[in-house]
Amino acid sequence: MSLSREIARMIINTRYEQLPAEVVSFAKLCILDWLGSALAGEKQQPAQILAAIAEDMGGSGQATLITGGTSSVWNAALVNGAASHIVELDDIHKASIIHAATVVIPAALAVAEWKRKSGRELIAAVVIGYDICYRIGEAVSPSHYYYWHNTATCGTFGAAAAAGYLLGLTEEELIQALGSAGTQAAGLWEFIEDGAMSKQLHPGKAAMNGVLAAQLAQRGFTGATRILEGRRGFFQAMSESADAMKVTEGLGQTYKITENSFKIHASCRHTHHAVDMILEMLQERDIRPETIESIAVKTYQVALNITDNPHPQTVYAAKFSLQFCTALAAVKRSAGLADFSKSALADPEVLALMRRVEVGVDPQIDAAYPEKWGAAIEVKLADGTRIAKQTDYPKGDPESPVTDELVDKFRKLTADRPAEAVERYVERTLHLEELAEAGLLLSEL
């Protein structure tokens, strides 16, 4: 049996009523966390540019744009996906290295609003979408991640699965949808060299392409039936050592959404371990930045592939600089959304300390990746004191949960909005299963 058929059967057989209560509750937190990032990002330039393009392209008012107004279901998936990936506070899955919320939820929510699906149906679609993209991401990682942005490539499958579920596709149609999703899967890491807006285009386009793939299949448009394991398929083309068993192990029996990690710092996840440990040191003792002689951070190679940037030139690039994030945390005692700014990028104290941060690879930590996103840090003070810490799990991982803090995180990300509207967002999301129409989630817009 092809992998696409096994996935299609899982989608067909999944129903809200069979989901464990803890999975439903967790999925609602994922949706709330996504919404906070989307609302925080919607006024940023990348989202506004895409919203303007959506207006240029036109389209019937099928679904709500996070930037305001309505447009086609494609445009809603595109704009809402991009907006949620701007402020670098969206969720992440360790083993697959995917920000699933930015792709799956915009696609599912747009289709759910368009087709007037219930909150329960939206929850089930999100659980399915997360599960499928995580499994495919695990199958091709870590080699796939060097050139390809997993959120864009593997996320496309998750978006198609979620959209296909909500559109009520048959088993055969779902197979065709997965084929069309896979042939559209793209997203190269070269954007990191310039800090380009392509990073936001990736989830938006993946969400849009997933919806397109599902709609095409519903109309009888065919796709490759063995898009994953075929000799010219996704695995062969985009991974050095794909493991198909990662896709099917426990498929339909366990729900991988609960493996999701949440972010509490507004930077690349590969910087969070160092930020966590610096902040812990500052809580334990009063360390003034000028007394720090050096900071050594040892981590896994992939983290350095993405974040070894000792001279970031833009605020966005600074979020992908392990050196800057470590120094920022030490100076500002925080690494939240407001801490990353032009003034911080030019702060003499931050810049001086950043030059004293050294990064490198620890072989044991590297061998544990991607199951563990760990790091070891040593701070040497001017008086000769050395302070060392090590962690396997940044805060927000399932092993170091922050789920109790997510409502507060949402409120902080939406602090510029009327308090009454913010509380209505929280109430509707945390009681999403009670909504007769999932589209009401964005009715404040």
**Strands (DSSP E) found in 268-405:** 292-299, 357-361, 375-381, 386-391
Tell me if 214 sits within 8 A of 177, measured CB to CB.
Answer: yes
Q: Which of 59, 160, 51, 57 is nearest to 104 (CA)?
A: 160
User: How many angstroms from the chain centroid is the CA of residue 55?
Assistant: 26
Tally of helices (H runs) and strands (E runs) in the chain: 20, 6
Neighbours of 256 (CB within 10 A): 22
pTM for this entry? 0.96
Ramachandran angles phi, psi of 176, nearest 5° = -65, -40
Name the token pair of 271: 């910087």
Longest dimension (CA), the chain: 72
Secondary structure letter of residue 93 according to DSSP: B
- In contact, 143 and 239? CB cutoff 8 Å: yes
All domains of the chain in start order, with CATH: 3-264+406-442 (1.10.4100.10), 269-391 (3.30.1330.120)
Write out the H or E segment, with its range, that includes residue 8.
helix 3-13
User: Encoding tokens for residue 175?
Assistant: 């197979």
395 Cα distance to chain centroid: 15
> Tens place of pLDDT for every residue, the chain, 445 residues?
999 999 999 999 999 999 999 999 999 999 999 999 999 999 999 999 999 999 999 888 999 999 999 999 999 999 999 999 999 999 999 999 999 999 999 999 999 999 999 999 999 999 999 999 999 999 999 999 999 999 999 999 999 999 999 999 999 999 999 999 999 999 999 999 888 999 999 999 999 999 999 999 999 999 999 999 999 999 999 999 999 999 999 999 999 999 999 999 999 999 999 999 999 999 999 899 999 999 999 999 999 999 999 999 999 999 999 999 999 999 999 999 999 999 999 999 999 999 999 999 999 999 999 999 999 999 999 999 999 999 999 999 999 999 999 999 999 999 999 999 999 999 999 999 999 999 999 998 8
